[in-house]
Structure 1
């Protein structure tokens, strides 16, 4: 239950359907989830570029970037991780209502949190993309040096080391970045969206 009182929902003059019609495409969330270093942001941004080139309005919400602003008041406890994802879910819903495609790149380690976001949206507006990459490979890449710090005890509650990552049970898309190139992952996602007539 929210803390706000004495508020009333104000109906907007423009519908989601009208905005989609103007944009000429569907709107939905591509929710990229996976371990740190799995390639979520890299693949999400590559997909965004591909969509942009074909005239599809989109925006990438990146985990680190969001924590510089909207969620800078949150830490990495289980409770803060859940609130982080809840806020992103609500922002994503606004993008979908505006008729755009939103690509989110967040570890989002808990199944329940990702399901919460799925349930905020209408059927087929939430497309979960599991960026599958073994922990060993993510540690080997360690692009931000976070695994090294976590192993040294400098970062508590680090996903995959001290805190669990719950793999999706039935994601719409699985891309394996340890076996496929970024280009191959992008093609796989674009193909899925084309077959579903989402783009």
Structure 2
């Protein structure tokens, strides 16, 4: 049993990292259940997608607790949760899966919202983690490989939850985020 947390801004490669993990665990025969949020409508519903269009089948749910009734949940050694910031029941679901059911869980989500505030309940899992990986993108405005730590919204939308793909958000370094 273990809990790994993968966080970072938009365009940091979080979904690509998750897809890489899927390949590695499938290669050693692990049964995997991948869960994603039904709120994420950028691509097809029942799959994890990276921005470069790589994909893997997933179960789209509104609440993680819905997955417990899925036969694949009981059979899975590894549970992967994509877009974790959208799940209200994230913390109790993950703690139960890891500590009561002995599963390995990898949680993937944003490190913060476009205001640099905690987004959803993802960061509440930090005290329970075996491992935390914070990925970074490259600052779109620097264009020189400067790490982008933050997600900046480019649209006028003010709601915290506004699912968007290319054009709605940028990954920016600290300097450019503060100037934006």
Q: Taking structure 2 as the reference length, what is the TM-score of the superposition?
A: 0.44
- Higher percent of residues as helix: 1
Q: Taking structure 1 as the reference length, what is the TM-score of the superposition?
A: 0.40
- Higher percent of residues as strand: 2
User: Larger Cα Rg: Structure 1 or Structure 2?
Assistant: 1
